[in-house]
Each structure stands twice: as C-alpha cells, then as structure tokens.
Amino acid sequence: MPELPEVETTRLGISPSLAGRSIAGVVIRERRLRWLIPEHIEERLTGAVVSRVERRGKYLLLRTGRGTAIAHLGMSGSMRIVAPDANLVLHDHYDIVMDNGAAVRFNDPRRFGCLLWTDDDPANHPLLARLGPEPLGANLSGEYLYSTAKGRRVTIKQHLMNSNIVAGVGNIYANESLFRSGIHPRRAAGRISQKRMDDLVNGVRAVLTEAIRCGGTTLRDFYAADGKPGYFRIKLMVYDRAGMPCQNCGESIRQAMIGQRSSYYCVRCQR
C-alpha cells in the first residue's frame, strides 16, 4: 500500500511526537519482518534523542545522536501514535516508546516492512545508496529521465517505478502520472522525447503533491498516524478503475499486466 505520499503522511504524523524527544524504550513482539530486526536495536534506541524524522524515497529515517533507525512500511504497514495503555491488535509488531509515554506502534500484516539500524550516514546504507533522485526534489527533470532512458528497452512505467532511477514512485502513482501526462504505460522508455519527459515529471510532481495534501490514498488498510484514512482515492483517474469510463474522454479504462504489476490506462488519452 504505502507509496511516497503515504510514507510522507506517516512522517508528518509521527514527527511531532518524536522529534526532540528521548526514547524511553522499544518493545518488539515480532522480529521477523522482511529482514530480522537487529538484536541490538533496543539498546541503540533506548535513551537516544530523536533529532528529526526524515524520508528518503519510501524509507523513514529516525535520526538520533547515535545513529539512524531505518524503517519501511512494505506493502501493508502503518504507524500510529498510541497512548501507553492502548490495546494491541493483530500484527502490532513493535512500539517505540517516548519519554512522555506516547509510542509509535507499527502494524504490518504482510511483514514486508523493515526496521534496521545504521551507525553510519544512512545515505551510505546499501538500501539507500543506489536510490535515484527524490521526485519532489530539484534533481529530477525531464532531461534526467530522458538521458537515463536512452537506449533502454523497458517500458516507461517500469522505468518510472525503478527506484534506482526515481525514488518512491509506486504502482498507483506511476499509473496516475502516466495518465496525467498522456503517455501510454507500455511505451518504450528510450523512445520518448525530452519534451514528453518534461510533461511526465510535471505529472509525477502534481500527483504526488496533491496526494500528500489529501493524506495519501487508502485502498483498504492505510491509515495515518492519527488513524485517519487518506482521501486521494476519490481523485484517482485510472488506478483500480478497469472498465469504468475515462473521466477525460469516456473511453473504457483498460487493465493489463506490465512487469507483473497491474496497470490502468486510457487508450485514447495515452499514446
């Protein structure tokens, strides 16, 4: 579920409860996430002061004076701010308890998320080192997409979803961005003009920015740190709309698999 806007919504939701505070303890009920939560993480985090909560792609970075915790929500993870006595529910895998008693509680049915630790600059961590530019940052441009696509035979949708090319664009927002910029998801990345790549970058930025403003997209199990769902779903133009009329031209929205991911598009608006 969580793509960049949902991770950013989570960051905005947990940050006020963490930043500037000291961690009183960590409670781990299930270490078997995508990777085992390292044995030493309770010791590293307990007593550490969180300087700030950052996001890189879809990774959340809890920066402390001692090092950085790296968290990912996977496909089904979410974080909530809970009171000390809040009842546990199924798949509540860990709590990071702050000095005021409030805690960040991580829930993840599919356990594709992770919680890792690095003493080093997190930018050097193997999971982050090769990530492409932030889609909402200054380093993404049509020129960049054009030059990285040169000679590639992959589809533009796969290129856009490749985290080594651009960080954090997942399936929902790739579909939506391609619709907004009028590009067919199956078009070969290497055969798209720089002008159209400019349009695509604008589409990506517009979709992500608006989704963040809406608190992300809730399809079934994404909730922000305050328990509220995201409201971008009602603004989706193609994702999960197979067979429904294109809101621009009325053509029936198609669904097809591209690189094992469900893709949605309008054959009239996207070429």
CA 202, CA 263: separation in Å to the nearest integer?
A: 20
Cβ closer to DNA: 164 or 250? 164
- Write the DSSP string, 234-262: GG-SSTT-TTSBPTTT-PBPEEEEETTEE
- Decide whether 66 or 152 has the Cβ nearer to DNA: 152
Site residues (CB under 7 A) for DNA, limited to 209-228: 217-222
What is the sign, positive or negative, of the torsion defined by CA atoms of 40, 46, 47, 53? positive
Q: Between 39 and 85, whose beta carbon lies closer to DNA? A: 39
Is 170 a binder of DNA (CB under 7 A)? yes
**Cβ atoms 16, 182 nearer than 8 A:** no
CA 13 to chain centre: 14
Spatial separation of the C-alpha atoms in residues 98 and 82, rounded to whole Å: 11
168 binds DNA (CB under 7 A): yes
Closest CA to 146 of 179, 193, 185: 193
Among 89, 90, 138, 234, binds DNA (CB under 7 A): 90
Q: How many residues bind DNA (CB under 7 A)?
A: 40
- Residue 209 and residue 222 in contact, taking contact as beta carbons nearer than 8 Å: no
Q: Which of 63, 72, 93, 241 binds DNA (CB under 7 A)?
A: 72
Contact 60, 7 (CB under 8 A): yes
What residues between 101 and 140 interact with DNA by CB under 7 A? Answer: 109-112, 126-127
Identity of the residue, 34 or 205, whose beta carbon is nearer to DNA in the bound complex: 34
Q: How far apart are the first and last CA of the chain?
A: 27
Q: Which helix (H) or strand (E) holds 72?
A: strand 68-72
Sole residue written with tokens 């929205």:
253
Q: Residue 44 is which amino acid?
A: R
Active-site residues: which are they? 2-3, 58, 261
CB of residue 111 vs DNA: minimum separation in angstroms? 5
Give the x/- contact pattern for DNA in 246-265, rule: CB under 7 A. Answer: -------------xxxx---
Q: Which stretch binds DNA (CB under 7 A): 71-79, 98-106, 132-140, 243-251?
A: 71-79
Draw the binding track, 39-58, toward DNA (x: CB under 7 A; -: no contact).
------------------xx
The answer to whether the beta carbons of residues 101 and 84 sit under 8 Å apart is yes
Q: Which CB sits closer to DNA, 25 or 190?
A: 190
Q: Which is nearer to DNA, 97 or 192 (CB)?
A: 192
Which helix (H) or strand (E) element contains residue 62?
Answer: strand 59-64
Binding mask 174-213 for DNA (x = CB under 7 A): ----------------------------------------
Query: Which residues of this protein are in contact with DNA, per CB under 7 A?
Result: 1-3, 6, 32, 34, 57-59, 72, 74-76, 90-91, 109-112, 126-127, 152-154, 158, 163, 168, 170-172, 217-222, 259-262
